[in-house]
Amino acid sequence: MALLEVENISIGYNTRKGYLKAVEGVSFELEEGQSLGLVGESGCGKTTIGMALMGLLPPNGSVRDGRILFEGNDTLKMSMDEIRRIRWRKMAMIFQAAMNALNPVQRVGNQIAEAILVHNPDLEKEAALSQVEELFDLVGIPRERLTDFPHQYSGGMKQRAVIAMALACHPKVIIADEPTTALDVIVQDQILEEVRDLQKEFNIGIIFISHDISIVADMCHDIGVMYAGQLVEFGPWQAVFESPAHPYTKALLSSFPTLTGKKSDLVPIPGETPNLIRPPAGCRFCERCPEAKASCEKTPPEWVDMGSGHKALCSGD
């Protein structure tokens, strides 16, 4: 049994213009200590999945179909109390824009101690603070910065503090949503290294959400490529990046400038992502797809298995 199983999940939002199908029929599994990358461009539904896993969808959003099994139990059927016992304690999230995730008028150390106390009401404050000191050692912030306010931290340190907060209750799963997007490359590199070490040390399963395919390739065992609310390709990173099967994955890779290898022309993807209130009947990528056939427009694509866990949602060839 996998630690986390997502089965055929569909999520939508009620908007003024109608029901927006943000995520449709996505399935994946995460084993203990493994990392899974969800990659795709803005609006593809990757953050929505993260929020649904945490039970933190906004009021107008809801899971329409499917199951989320954490250690075999369906979190969608749980009561608020049961979910609270899992959220942060067993499953934590590192949010996009760590800059805004900390309370600006409270000392950073106290904020994290408070998070620990909420989940362990029997603990003394002193004990919680000493746990925070250990967490700071783990993520590489000097202990004397415990009593600083968030504005006294650099961007990288805030990100480290947010990671410390996510680790506070020793979770089994961490959902990291664009954890390094606003940071410079050198700081990003250091933080990703930190995350890799912590993952190994505590055997944490990580779901890594990013628009940056190079980071996901560096961090994850398995990769899921998302487009317009659907998973379109899934597999081990070597397979997905070295022999991509879905035309969108290929297009995404050839629009990304790299430092290594021969310099080649970047090929942008023409057109825009489809409207998810009235999504296309057939393949959602077919309008922009260089390999599309007449049938792609009408018939929804089916999964094609390439073996060893690599599959793509494309009936093209």
Partner 1 sequence: MTEPLEKAGVMDTGNKPILQIRNVSKVYRSKGNLFRGSGKEVVALNRISLDIFKGEIFGLVGESGSGKTTAGRLIVSLEENTAGHIFLGNHEVTRLKGKTLKDFRRKVQMIFQDPYQSLNPQRSVYDTISEPLKIHRIGDASARKDAVKEALTSVGLSPPDDFLFRYPHRLSGGQRQRVAIARAMVLNPEFVIADEPTSMLDASISAQIFNILLAMRKNLDVTQMFITHSLAAARYLCDRIAVIYRGNLMELGPAENVIRHPKHPYTQALIDAVPKFGHSKEAQRYGTLLGKEHEVRKDMGCVFYPRCAVARDDRCSRKMPGLGSIEDGHLVACYLHGSEEIRLKPFSQALAEGR
Site for partner 1, rule CB under 8 A: 41-42, 155, 184-186, 188-190, 192, 211-215, 217-218, 237-238, 241, 251-252, 255-260, 263, 266-269, 272
CB nearer to partner 1: pick between 31 and 218: 218
Residues paired with 19 in a beta bridge? 14
Task: Give the Cα separation of 162 and 294 in Å (integer).
Answer: 49
Q: Which residue type sits at 264?
A: S
For residues 7 and 133, what is the distance between their CA atoms, to the nearest angstrom? 39
- Answer yes or no: are the C-beta atoms of 222 and 236 closer than 8 Å: yes
Residue 217 C-beta: closest distance to partner 1, Å = 4
Q: What is the C-alpha radius of gyration for the chain, rounded to an integer number of angstroms?
A: 20
Q: Which is nearer to partner 1, 79 or 260 (CB)?
A: 260
Of residues 193, 198, 205, 9, the one with CA closest to residue 91: 205
Closest CA to 165 of 98, 227, 215: 98
In which region does residue 272 sit, left (phi positive, over 0), alpha (psi from -120 to 50) or beta (all else)? beta
Q: Return the number of the residue (83 or 269) whose C-beta is nearest partner 1.
A: 269
Quick one: 104 or 257, whose CB is closer to partner 1?
257
The least distance separating partner 1 from the CB of residue 248, rounded to whole angstroms, comes to: 9
SS3 state of residue 194: helix
Give me the least distance between CB of 23 and partner 1, in Å please. 18
> Rounded to the nearest whole angstrom, what is the least distance from the CB of residue 212 to partner 1 in the complex?
8
How near is the Cβ of 67 to partner 1 at its closest, in Å?
31
To the nearest whole angstrom, how small is the minimum distance from the Cβ of residue 7 to partner 1? 28
Residue 239's region, left for phi above 0, alpha for psi from -120 to 50, else beta, is alpha
Nearest to partner 1 of 102, 213 (CB atom): 213
Place of tokens 């004397």: 144
- The smaller minimum CB distance to partner 1, of residues 64 and 211, is found at 211
Shortest Cβ 268–partner 1 spacing (Å): 4
Give the residue with the Cβ less far from partner 1, 148 or 218.
218
301 Cβ neighbours under 8 A, 6+ residues apart:
282, 283, 313, 314, 315, 316
